[in-house]
Amino acid sequence: MPPTSVVGQLDPAVKNTAGFVLELRNIVKTFGTFTALDDVNFNLKRGEVHALLGENGAGKSTLMNIVCGLYAADSGERLHEGEPVWISNPREAHALGIGMVHQHYKLVKPFSALENIQLENGSGPYRTSLNRIRQKATEISKIIGFEVDLDLPVEQLSISEQQRVEILKILTADARIIILDEPTAVLTDMEAENMFTAMRSLAATGCSVVFVTHKLREAFSFADRITVMRGGKTINTVLPNQLDVTELTTLIVGETVVESVNRSKNIGDPKITLNEISMKRNNGVNAITDLSFQVRSGEIYGIAGIGGNGQNELVAILSGLRKIDTGSIELNDVGRVENATPIELRDLGIVCIHSDRETYGLAYGLNIAENFSISGVLAGEFGSYIKVKHKLIHEATELAIEAYDVRGVRTLNQKAGLLSGGNAQKLVIAREFSREPSIVVAHSPCRGLDVRASSAVHEYLLKARDRGGAVVLISEDLDEILLMSDRIGVMSGGAIVAEFDAPANRNEIGKSMTGHG
């Protein structure tokens, strides 16, 4: 059994103890006729931070879901502290001191942070349990440097604070093996660094951390060891100093993927202009304040900024989901469109790739063909509402899947939720780009995607631009903004506070993002 305290002083020699705290041998997992894991091996040392890398669909999350008891392996051995174990459900994993923070957080939004932690760990009389958990969570927070208002409803917390609540849930349950699935997908660079600093503090006490990621820089900066998976197999486990970025990329995808700067050669007239738009959130606080910018044909306008500065609201406005309070939005040759509905904006050639695929991009419970064809059905491309031509839908979906290289589709009746993140995003892009949009709004389009999938998404955005479209690229990944943008606006406090022509100075952009420009 694991120690009863998740933090505390440990003998320095513990970190170098021989043997593994967790070992997986020859793990096989199938879903129907699809083999997700094929003879996979993985081990974890006590007190280490271990990065698990691979393309979307490589089997990383499936393997970790087996460790935490969400999936059962078809065959293979699992050893904990050198002893064989069978983990058939999350409760058994918890008993072994294993906790996992999933990419999509499992929190009850109206409940406070403390109440969410209690849901996982409460026992005994309510008040006694709540006080005990408050004391323990507060103690852990201080030791690892977390700042969370435990009494605030989760829906009022930032994304990074919600992640801390998830981590506190498993640490309060005395987890000694901590699994983080894409832990920085929705964090800024500074938030990510703070999170990894906290994980380092935990590793120093003898905890072991596995983080699943696509970000090579994180693996090089924070991992003690790196394991690479590809096609459901373990490829290799290496030390960060044993190879460079190019070699690691090749290990992940089986080939070299290098993206280069590709500036526009044909920027034309303005396509969309936002004039001093403002909008309040439901609680009356300003989300957007006198925001203005213009994007021209053949141009990618990148919007950089720390999350929570109005980016989500801007995307909602440009996709017709929210209305502005003041200001105007004008399209060239059309006029003002700030009151247009989502369907009207789509008919005008505006498409949106939302950062949250699960909520806005796809209906995970519907099949591949239904997800691809929904906008075409609305536009009358597949017959009328009364008589939809399903044969046309299937033909168009098959062509799009091939053209946009959507992999993992075994049948068009397959649920979209069974696709990996990268292939789900390719399906969204296939649907949105099938009508050759005039204006593309893309919010963190590569969030959670691997190197190859990210490169493919970038290529589609460049093609849309080079056809004469205008692209608004909103991203908290400054590397992505610098690589893709022809012009860059910095968003802070709900407004564009600075603009830069490419190539732009990274430090100057960073200063503008933090209010020091």
pLDDT at 17: 40
Express each pLDDT in 164-212 by its tens digit. 888 888 888 888 999 998 887 667 677 788 888 888 988 998 999 999 9
CA 187/CA 103 separation, integer angstroms: 12
Express each pLDDT in 222-234 by its tens digit. 999 999 998 899 9
pLDDT at 148: 84
Which of the residue ranges 258-267, 272-281, 445-454 would you say has the lowest mean pLDDT?
445-454
pLDDT at 9: 33
Residue 428 host element (H or E)? helix 421-433
The H-assigned helical ranges of 122-256 are 126-144, 159-172, 189-204, 216-222, 245-253
Q: Answer with the residue of higher pLDDT: 435 or 132.
A: 132
Express each pLDDT in 408-446 by its tens digit. 888 999 999 888 777 888 899 899 988 889 999 999 888
pLDDT at 380: 85
CA 309/CA 157 separation, integer angstroms: 14
In three-state secondary structure terms, 303 is: strand
Cα–Cα nearest to 160, from 283, 285, 307: 307
In this model, does residue 6 exceed pLDDT 50? Answer: no
Cα–Cα nearest to 168, from 121, 201, 207, 124: 121
What per-residue string of b and e applies to 114-152 under the rule 16 or more CB within 10 Å gives b?
Answer: bbbbbebbbeeeeeeebebbbebbeebbebbebebebee
pLDDT at 188: 66
Tokens encoding 371: 């997800």
Which residues is 381 bridged to in the sheet? none
In this model, does residue 18 exceed pLDDT 60? Answer: no
SS (H, E, C) 77-117: EEEECCEECCCCCHHHHHHCCEEEECCCCCCCCCCEHHHHH
pLDDT at 255: 67
Q: From residue 165, how far is each of 98, 153, 162, 206, 213 by CA, in Å?
A: 17, 11, 5, 21, 20
Q: Answer with the residue of higher pLDDT: 190 or 373.
A: 373
Cα–Cα nearest to 423, from 393, 448, 459: 448
Domain annotation for the chain: domains and CATH numbers: 21-97+176-258 (3.40.50.300), 103-174 (no CATH), 270-349+435-513 (3.40.50.300)
